[in-house]
Amino acid sequence: MPVNSGVFGRGPHKARTVLSTAAFAVALGLIVADFITWIELDVAAIFGLPLVLAGATRSRALLWTLTGLLVATTFVVYALQIAPGTFALKEIFFVNRLLNALSLLLLAGLLHLWIKSVATREAQERLIREQEETLHATKVSRRMVEVQEAERREVANRLHDLVGQKLTALNINLNIVKAELSPHTTQFGAKLDDSLKLVEETTDSIRDVMAELRPAVLDDFGLGPALRWYADQFTERSGVATSVVEQGPVRRLSPTAEYTLFRMAQNALANVAKHASGAKAVVTLRTTPHSACLIVADNGYGFDPATVGKPARDHGWGLMITRERAAAIGAQLSIESAPGHGTRVVITLDGNAHDQGSAGG
């Protein structure tokens, strides 16, 4: 029974209200007509009209309410019209009314199955659409991560090729000038020493920026060594004693997965330094042939995850970014924390789709 799902399935509430009112009105009109005239025509065909209208509303409650009223009407009218003492099971009008009632129940049953079938189909269509939207969003997020990492790599390469090489040349030139100076020009020698020191400090700063943008150890040796390298850097800068524990077989993931997990570890450790006030942090990388799990735990203040709301101007963005990064590679993110008990950030990546051999760079 084809009915326009755009009108009845997902149409405005007003349309359903009108149909429901019409179904009730038609049913009551037919009931009154049956009481007054004792309809001699096919009761099932006539009474079936309000049931069809009820079916169009997709309301099973309305359908069966009207069915009950109409079935009861068929027998009540017969009981009122039959002469006393003349009832018989084989009496023609009783048999007709009984068949009409069964016809109404059959029609209601078919409409019920149709409504249920349409509801199931629409639920499946909604689920498919949601899954397609989620898949599309995941692909877009993953592409954004890849673009961001490509931009970081480009900036790091430019810093190395342009700024780094020029600083190296400047350092060489200053050393040549210093070697050519007379021993008696101590004033110029001191200024040259200061300039050489500034060049060395600037070179070190550029190297640190390049390492933050694109750690060479991550490209060359993988996630585990990169985490160990960063933990040493983080400990030196923040004073938070940070260690890395690796469990399971050594396994290279796809570049996108490794970069994303590394950035999530960076973000989690930054939160430790900024909010947790802990003295210790442990980064655990647990791998199996079919999964990878990254855990960042600290012994800081902790917090109640249920109290974390939407990002504000000065807080909350780190957690949102971490969730988006996890979603971009299809990972599960779990945050376990309580006031006074520290925090554990757990990122789990299942399956082999992010193996280096099965994913493009």
- Digit-by-digit pLDDT tens for the chain (361 residues) are 444 444 444 455 677 777 777 776 776 776 676 666 655 555 556 777 777 777 777 888 888 888 888 888 777 877 777 767 666 666 777 777 787 788 888 888 888 888 888 888 888 888 888 888 777 776 776 677 677 777 777 787 777 677 777 888 888 888 888 777 776 666 777 788 888 888 888 887 887 777 777 788 888 889 999 999 999 989 988 889 999 999 999 888 888 889 889 989 988 898 888 876 767 899 999 998 888 999 999 988 888 777 765 555 555 566 777 888 888 888 899 988 888 888 999 999 986 655 654 444 3
β-strands 332-337, 343-350: how paired? antiparallel
Q: Which pLDDT belongs to residue 8?
A: 42
DSSP 44: H
d(CA 286, CA 247): 5
Q: Which pLDDT belongs to residue 33?
A: 67
Length of the chain: 361
Q: Which pLDDT belongs to residue 313?
A: 53
The encoded tokens of residue 359 equal 């994913």
d(CA 22, CA 12): 16
d(CA 52, CA 59): 11
| 124 C-beta neighbours (distance < 10 Å), count | 10
Q: Which long-range contacts does 125-128 make (Cβ < 8 Å, 24+ apart)?
A: none
| Strand spans (E) along the chain | 241-247, 280-288, 291-298, 332-337, 343-350
The encoded tokens of residue 319 equal 């957690």
d(CA 105, CA 99): 10
CA distances (Å), origin 219, targets 215, 245, 262, 323:
7, 20, 11, 24
d(CA 334, CA 348): 8
Determine the Cα angle at 226 with ends 223 and 232, to 5°: 140
> Can you say how many angstroms the Cα of residue 201 is from the centroid of all Cα atoms in its chain?
44
d(CA 339, CA 341): 6
